[in-house]
C-alpha cells in the first residue's frame, strides 16, 4: 500500500464500498424483480381478459381464464412487493473492530 493512504482513509473507503454494496443488494432484490414482472404481466393479461370475446370464453368452458389468471398474477406480484416493503433486506453486519488484529 502506498504511503499516501492512512488507516483512516482506508476505513472510509471500505465503509463507502459497504454502503454501495447494501444499496445494490436492495436494488436487485429478487422480490422486486419477480413482483414487478408479475404486476406488469398481470395488468396485460387482465386487460386481455376484459377484451375477451364470447368465442374465447366458450373455448375455456365458460370461464374467462385470462381475467382470472391476470387477477391472480396481480395479487401475487403485489404480495411480493408488499413483502419487500414490510421486510426489507437487512444490511450486512459491520466487522468487529480489532477482530483481525493479533
Q: What angle do CA 83, 84, 90 make, to 5 degrees?
A: 120
Verdict on whether the full-model pTM lies above 0.85:
no
- Confidence (pLDDT) at 94: 65
Q: For the chain, what percent of residues have pLDDT higher than 90? A: 47
Higher pLDDT, 8 or 47: 47
- How big is the chain by its Cα radius of gyration, in Å? 24
**What pLDDT, in 10s, does the model give residues 42-81?**
999 999 999 999 998 999 999 999 999 999 999 999 999 9
Kindly provide the b/e burial profile for residues 6-42, where b requires at least 16 CB atoms within 10 angstroms of the residue's own CB: eeeeeeeeeeeeeeeeeeeeeeeeebbebbeebbeeb
- Confidence (pLDDT) at 29: 81
- Confidence (pLDDT) at 9: 74
Amino acid at each position: 500500500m502506498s504511503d499516501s493512504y492512512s488507516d483512516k482513509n482506508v476505513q472510509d473507503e471500505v465503509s463507502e464500498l459497504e454502503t454501495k454494496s447494501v444499496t445494490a443488494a436492495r436494488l436487485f432484490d429478487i422480490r422486486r424483480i419477480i413482483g414487478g414482472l408479475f404486476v406488469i404481466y398481470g395488468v396485460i393479461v387482465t386487460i386481455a381478459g376484459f377484451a375477451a370475446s364470447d368465442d374465447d370464453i366458450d373455448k375455456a368452458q365458460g370461464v374467462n381464464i385470462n381475467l382470472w389468471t391476470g387477477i391472480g398474477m396481480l395479487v401475487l406480484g403485489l404480495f411480493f412487493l408488499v413483502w419487500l416493503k414490510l421486510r426489507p433486506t437487512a444490511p450486512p453486519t459491520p466487522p468487529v473492530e480489532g477482530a483481525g488484529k493479533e
